[in-house]
Structure 1
Amino acid sequence: MKSSKTAALPRRLAAATAVATSVTLAVGAIPAHAEPAPPVPTTQVAPKPKPTKTPKKDAPKPGASSSKAPKPSAKPKPAPPATVTKVNWYSAHRVALWVHSPAMNTDIQVQMLLARDWFSDPKAKFPQLTMLDGLRAQDDQNGWMINTNVEEFYADKNVNVVLPVGGESSFYTNWKEPDRGKNYQWETFLTKELPPILENDWRSTDVRAIEGLSMGGTAAMMLAARNPGFYKFAGSFSGILQMTSYGMPQAIQFALRDGGGYDSAKMFGPPSDPAWKEHDPYVLADKLKGTSLYISSGNGVVGPHDKPSDIPLLATNYSGVGLEVLSRVTSQQFAAKLNKLGIHGQAVYRPSGTHTWPYWQFEMVQAWPQVAGALGIAGDKVACTVGPAFAKAPQIKDLGGCLTPEYAVPGGRAQDFRNGRIFTGPKGPKVVAGAIGGVYVPTMERLGLPTSDELTGRDGVKYNTFERGKIVWTPQSGARVE
């Protein structure tokens, strides 16, 4: 006679399998914080023509035609450019822009991790890497910032990292119709509206890479294929890379319902609509020739970052098991299609692991050498020693390794380290770091050089003093100039 535990095993395994194969592309666990405002129609309507004046009933001149040729219609006005409506500096190398998208008629937050040499080489421009979020993307922060060490990892790299915020369940594409108060037009935003701002105002070149996890991995391949040559590199970490094979549109519909209550018919129409194939990375694979490609996934088997269940090889993250199995299958199919087309791609199949963030951080690190090669910065390395202006500064021991050589700033000298920037000043070398260091970037000329390191007052208040003012940080209001 079987024990009750043994008898229950088939039932639990069946339940786990059912959960695992219920395709929910959701990643993360925190919903967006606020419901957006109702959509504003963004369709541009051509201006109505002025009423035609009735011609005078003069007799036509001899030899003249009695009918006038119609005037050619006016060319449609070009779409207005995107504009930056707000800027917030989180730190000296992390900044948030709110960019008004004419296509979506709303402000989109885009965070940037500025290149290592941003301050030490103020005339330089840098390649850019866009990192896309998963299905449960929040409206306040990009998931890479919340769940990985992305800021620390890129601190010593000469690339502008672009982190779009928002886009829950959007697949970062242009939707046919608004849904849940959002008029998603992400492809237009990422490939048409945002690039001029990054290149004209934020010292980015037009050498671009894009990568993402889960939904973001699907979107990275989709956007690269739909815009051939726009990106030098495209990377998918656990992406679903076949969208139109049998059952996939229905699976994606299930995912969008689970990931915020969205309707895939408003994204691409019914499964029979050609828009599905027009956005399927597998169908578009031939458009990726010449793009450096990185494809990775686990296989759903319990791995080093998973909690084992009491069912052999199965993690407790049941939905993450099924999602990673689906990612593995579609990633292999996609890689096979590339191989058939003679298109080179780097495929990395991990021997274990489910659909969760620690594996995507691992892939971010693993993919970097290939990203750097595609962006033309494979040979870039940190090359610095402590500058002569700071060699005797006692603060150096707490600043971590240097990132740049010593360089000139208005009125003095500065140098960048992993844990902050150090400046010369009227009272000797002083360190400015963290949120206070961010507020100092746009106010440096007004405030002058620092006259203190970061100090701590009552109730957790922190502050730095400067030649012409003070920057104060409080837990309630963050950093501000006083």
Structure 2
Amino acid sequence: MRVGLATEDRRRSRATFRTKVVGALAAMLVLPIAAGLTTAGTAAAAPAPAQAAPAVTQNPTGAAVTKVDWLSERRVALWVNSPAMGTPIQVQILLARDWNVNPSASFPSVWMLDGLRATDNENAWTYETDAESFYADKNVNVILPVGGQSSFYSDWLEPDNGKNYQWETFLTKELPPILEKDWRTTQTRGVVGLSMGGTSAMFLTARNPGFFKFAASLSGILTTTSLGMPQAIQFAMTDAGGYNSAAMWGPPSNAQWAAHDPYALAEKLKGVSLYVSSGSGTTGPYDQPSGIPGVSTNYAGMGLEILARLTSQTFATKLNQLGIPAQVNYRPSGTHSWPYWQFELHQLWPQLANAIGVEVEKPACGTSGEIGATAAANGWIGDCITPEYSVAGGLAQDFRNGRIYFTSGTGAQPVAGRIAGAYMNTGAAAGPLGFPRTPELGTPDGRGRFNHFQNGSIYWTPQTGAHPVSGDILAEWSAQGWEGGPLGYPTADEIATPGKPGKVQGFEIGAMYSSANGTHAVLGMIMGKYGELGWENGWLGFPKSNEVPIKDNGRFTEFEGGNIYWSPGTGAWSVENGPLFDGWKSVGYEGGRLGFPISDKFDIPGGVQQNFQFGYITVIGDKTEVH
């Protein structure tokens, strides 16, 4: 559970992409573009003037954080409402090593840009590479924009495919004030991008002088206006989400193409620490060889990396002509794929660290006492990255893959991954759960993991996520058999019920309610009917019992305003307290001559009626009749 989110859908999309472009890429793109890139210049209009550096001391745009969700002890997701794009944009942050050790400090940042197939769920740097672990001991805030498929992180001329992309405005104007004010981030920044993100890293740096002190392109396309390149970009964008490049920058003759061309903007990169890398496209150490020497089975990755190499060489030549230094790394092999970008992430770090003014190597740290013994017994937690520090009446120490908390009453206990994120969402040791009193343990069914805390527990499965359970709801859930009972695992955090004093928490098979009537579970089809009738704010009110078994494998739950009955043959139906219920009671409930209800009450002229398996009841005025 200490790894990133599932990646199967993304892998399938990449496999589909490879199939589509095996022949087309080489025939349609590589050869004509390569011919165009051998020249020193570009066949396009002159570049538009670079934009002035954005003001980041205030946020006049109205961008604001609408949601915060901790994903681990040092990884947090923000949803930032972007006025420019008209929608919340997710941004994840890997917090600096000394975030907790030095709570008054602010930190430089590294911005990690995704590739053309960026998803709206997670930036691929966090699950395709070891970036989260690698940056754990680095004293920088790592900024991970999420989404932007085929966007090139630019401001588009018009909406397309349901998206109003205004990424440059979001990244350079709307987001920085939030990071500086609330997330202790300085104005010293570096940017690293792969493929599409590499292109964007260079032109965003050039278009916004002073915004980034370091820029790295890993297999980026570094000229967008050379012969055939607009057509190549359109081909790729069509495949990656069905986007139209004309909505982005207009037709190829539009000056916006040159205004976003790293080659055309190269002079604007003076004074920036630059890193450019690419492979050759031939089979490398991370590729699966085909039957043809030098050719891997990653055919699309081969062609794309050839393009990246050609454009990177042309770009680097331009930098050299302008007297702009750059670290250029042309690997002798390798395709357009993540293992090589992970390699480059490690390679570029010393240059990046020096450019933004942080140490390259982590300071020495050690462990001792009970925290040290717990770390030694839990090797998965990795090496220490901070010394011990004080938290809420106890101690904590950060490690590469988690955190260990200590008090004399609870001992030293590790918390990590999604459980650590849920713990942070509650306020961690200073919150209502208190300190952990167990390490992370596996559940008996093998599906999940959990930690017990002083005042509750957090349970996690890949399907349900991590959620705390505490108080009366925890007591009743445990009495019913924990995750092995009728409710299964929690699927949501506990919340206050709207409109009436009470609490509710969602589980796999229903929900647990706590009110003045006690704490009770509502399950399955009965839960469905309860929701249909308005939950606790409907006429049924709060539950007054757990589910009770009755004849024919049926069930019922009692509520303030009546009951809901279910059986396999009839489904779930409510019976309201009062004349209808009393009439049914008079003939023996479901065990009597009417059997189970087969409808809710409904209006008839002058009154109401409810149908049962073998009859019906009417209430007209003050007269109740059983038929």
What is the TM-score with the length of structure 1 in the denominator?
0.82
Q: Please state how far the C-alpha of 1:400 moved relative to its aligned partner.
A: 2.4
1:251 aligns with 2:257: no
- Secondary structure of the residue aligned to 1:424 is strand
State the alpha-carbon separation in 1 of the partners of residues 83 and 223 from structure 2: 31
Q: Residue type of the partner of 1:361?
A: Q
Pairs aligned (count): 415
Higher relative contact order (CA 8 A, sep 6+): 1
Residue 124 of structure 1: aligned partner: 105
CA distance in 1, matches of 2:60, 2:296: 50
Superposed CA offset, 1:127-184 (max 9, x none): 1111111111111111112211111111111111111111111000000000000000
For 1:98, the equivalent position in structure 2 comes to 79
Give the letter aligned to residue 452 of structure 2: T
- Asked if 1 retains the 8 angstrom alpha-carbon contact of 2:362 and 2:385, the reply is no
Q: 2:390 pairs with 385, 408, 413, which one? A: 408
Match in the other structure for 2:303: 322
**Counterpart contact for 1:94–1:112, Cα < 8 Å:** yes
**CA–CA distance in structure 1, aligned partners of residues 251 and 193 of structure 2:** 26
For residues 223-242 of structure 1, what are the structure 2 equivalents within 5 Å?
223-242=204-223
| Displacement after TM superposition at 1:461 (Å) | 3.5
* Alignment match, 1:20: 26
Q: 1:387 to 1:136 in 2, by over 3 A?
A: same
In terms of mean alpha carbon deviation, does 463-472 or 186-195 score higher? 463-472
Which runs of 5 or more residues in structure 1 are unaligned?
1-14, 25-77
- Spell out the pairing of 1:434-473 with structure 2 (5 A cutoff): 434-443=417-426, 444=428, 445-446=430-431, 447-459=433-445, 460-473=447-460
- Does structure 1 conserve the Cα–Cα contact (< 8 Å) formed by 2:111 and 2:191? yes
The aligned amino acid for 2:417 is G
Task: Tell me whether 1:346 sits opposite 2:316 in the alignment.
Answer: no
Do the aligned residues in 2 keep the contact of 1:20 with 1:320 (CA within 8 Å)?
A: no
Hey, what's the Cα distance between the residues in 1 that align with 2:425 and 2:162?
35
- 1:419 aligns to what? 401
Question: Residue by residue, what CA displacement relative to the aligned partner does 1:244-274 show, whole Å, maximum 9, x if unpaired?
Answer: 1122112211121122111111111111111
Is the 1:134–1:216 contact (alpha carbons within 8 Å) kept by the matching residues of 2? yes
Tell me how far apart the structure 1 counterparts of residues 230 and 251 of structure 2 sit (CA, whole Å).
Answer: 8
Q: CA RMSD of the aligned region, Å?
A: 1.9
Cα distance between partner residues in 2 of 1:259 and 1:205: 34
Q: TM-score, structure 2 length as denominator?
A: 0.64
Q: Is the counterpart of residue 433 in structure 1 residue 419 in structure 2? A: no
Assess if the C-alpha contact under 8 Å between 2:29 and 2:228 holds in 1.
no
Distance 1:327 1:384, change over 3 A: same
Once residues 274 and 394 of structure 1 are traced to their aligned partners in structure 2, the CA distance between those partners, rounded to angstroms, is 58
Alpha-carbon distance between aligned partners in 2 of 1:203 and 1:408, rounded to the nearest angstrom: 20
Residue 338 (structure 1) shift: 0.7
Asked if the contact 1:131–1:210 (Cα under 8 Å) also holds between the matched residues in 2, the reply is yes
Structure 1 residue 84: deviation in Å? 1.1
Q: Read off the aligned partner of 1:370 and give its amino acid letter.
A: Q
Q: C-alpha separation between the residues in 2 aligned to 1:171 and 1:83? A: 23
Q: 1:185 to 1:99 in 2, by over 3 A?
A: same
Q: 1:213 is matched with which residue: 182, 187, 194? A: 194
Instruction: Give the distance between the partners of 1:454 and 1:397, measured in 2 at CA.
Output: 10
- In percent, how many aligned pairs have the same letter? 60
Cα distance in 2 between the residues matched to 1:254 and 1:178:
19
In 1, Cα distance between equivalents of 2:414 and 2:264: 53
Q: Tell me by how many angstroms 1:292 deviates.
A: 0.4
Counterparts in 2 of 1:427 and 1:206: CA distance versus 1, 3 Å? same
- Residue among 284, 287, 292 paired with 1:311: 292
Point out where structure 2 has 5 or more consecutive residues left out of the alignment: 1-20, 31-58, 470-627
Shift, 1:21, TM fit: 4.7
Instruction: Return the alpha-carbon distance in structure 2 between the equivalents of residues 151 and 343 of structure 1.
Output: 32
Q: Is the contact between residue 86 and residue 97 of structure 1 (CA under 8 Å) also seen in structure 2?
A: yes
CA distance in 1, matches of 2:458, 2:237: 44
- In the alignment, what sits opposite 2:260? 279
The residue identity in structure 1 corresponding to 2:461 is T
Worse overlay, 317-326 or 459-468: 459-468
Trace 1:349-364 onto structure 2 (pairs within 5 A).
349-364=330-345
Q: Distance in 2 between matches of 1:218 and 1:298?
A: 16
Moved more, 315-324 or 449-458: 449-458
Per-residue deviation at 1:310? Answer: 2.1
Match of 2:166 among 173, 182, 185: 185
C-alpha distance in 2, partners of 1:217/1:352? 19
Q: Over residues 196-254 of structure 1, what are the superposed CA-to-partner deviations in whole Å (9 max), with x where a residue is unaligned?
A: 11111111111100011110000000100000110010000000001111221122111
Q: Distance in 2 between matches of 1:394 and 1:104?
A: 45
- 2:133·2:401 contact (CA, 8 Å) conserved in 1? no
1:81 Cα deviation (Å)? 2.1
- AA aligned opposite 2:402: G
Give the residue type in structure 1 aligned to 2:78: L
1:393 shift after superposition: 4.3
SS at match of 1:99: strand
Corresponding position: 1:297 with 2:278: yes
Q: In 2, Cα distance between the equivalents of 1:23 and 1:361?
A: 27
Mapping 1:16-95, distance limit 5 Å: 19-23=25-29, 80-95=61-76
Between the aligned partners of 2:176 and 2:191, the Cα distance in structure 1 is 13
> What's the secondary structure of 1:206's corresponding residue?
strand
- With over 3 angstroms needed to count, the CA separation of the structure-2 counterparts of 1:307 and 1:429, relative to structure 1, is closer
Find out whether 1:151 has 2:132 as its counterpart.
yes
DSSP-derived class of the 1:390 partner: helix
SS in structure 1 opposite 2:371? coil
Structure 1 counterpart SS, 2:354: helix
SS of equivalent to 1:241: coil
How much has 1:386 moved relative to structure 2? 0.6
Per-residue deviation, 1:311: 2.4
* Partner deviation per Cα, 1:357-386 (whole Å, 9 max, x = no partner): 111111111111111111101355232111
Rate the CA distance shift 1:299–1:176 in 2: closer, same or farther, 3 A. same
What is the match of residue 63 of structure 1? none
**1-side partners of 2:204 and 2:109: how far apart?**
15
| Distance (Å, rounded) in 2 between the aligned partners of 1:318 and 1:380 | 38
Decide which of 68, 93, 97 is 1:112's aligned counterpart. 93
The letter of the residue matching 1:206 is: Q
Deviation track 1:38-87 (CA, whole Å, cap 9, x = no partner) reads xxxxxxxxxxxxxxxxxxxxxxxxxxxxxxxxxxxxxxxx9532111111
2:351 counterpart letter in structure 1 = Q
SS of aligned partner of 1:458 = coil
Bigger strand fraction? 2
**2:473 corresponds to:** none
